[in-house]
Amino acid sequence: MNEVKITGEVVHVDEVKEYGANAFRKHVVVVKTGDDKWTNPIPVEFTKEAIEKSTQLKIGQNVVIDARLNGREWKGQDGVTKWFVSVNGYEISSSEADGPAETNREQIDELNEDPPF
């Protein structure tokens, strides 16, 4: 499996849903990555023990989510094959993105200033 880190702001926390006779449980959290011009909302699914961590999330929180990418192939009744990717979260931590990002922007602004000579 492929592992990724998703860093951003929580913009949606769904309720835990159950599916099928085995009561499979899934919890979806959407994290906005990118900037205000090009947002990139990523739905992250949590299952099994990871649900206990994801239900603690609140809208507006900055987080880093460790996740796995899982691909599936599906063939429709019309014979057309389609592929899907899901992002399955398993670990959540707070993001420190607010502090260092400002410092980096200030440093870039300083570099873009005209030289003093």
Please report the DSSP string for 1-62 in residue order.
-EEEEEEEEEEEEPPPEEETTTTEEEEEEEEEEE-SSSEEEEEEEEETTHHHHHTT--TT-E
| CATH number for the domain formed by residue range(s) 2-112 | 2.40.50.140
Nearest Cα neighbor of 55 from 35, 77, 27, 80 is 27
At 94 the three-state DSSP class reads strand
Q: What is the pTM of this model?
A: 0.74
Distance in angstroms (rounded) separating the CA atoms of residues 69 and 89 = 9
**Predicted confidence (pLDDT) per residue in 44-63, tens digit:** 999 999 999 999 999 999 99
- Which range, of 14-28, 29-43, 55-69, 81-95, averages the lowest pLDDT? 29-43
**Predicted confidence (pLDDT) per residue in 68-98, tens digit:** 999 999 999 999 999 999 999 999 998 765 4
Distance in angstroms (rounded) separating the CA atoms of residues 109 and 111 = 5
Contact of 11 with 31, CB cutoff 8 Å: yes
Whole-number percent of the chain with pLDDT over 70: 80
Distance in angstroms (rounded) separating the CA atoms of residues 31 and 7 = 8
So where are the chain's domains?
A: 2-112
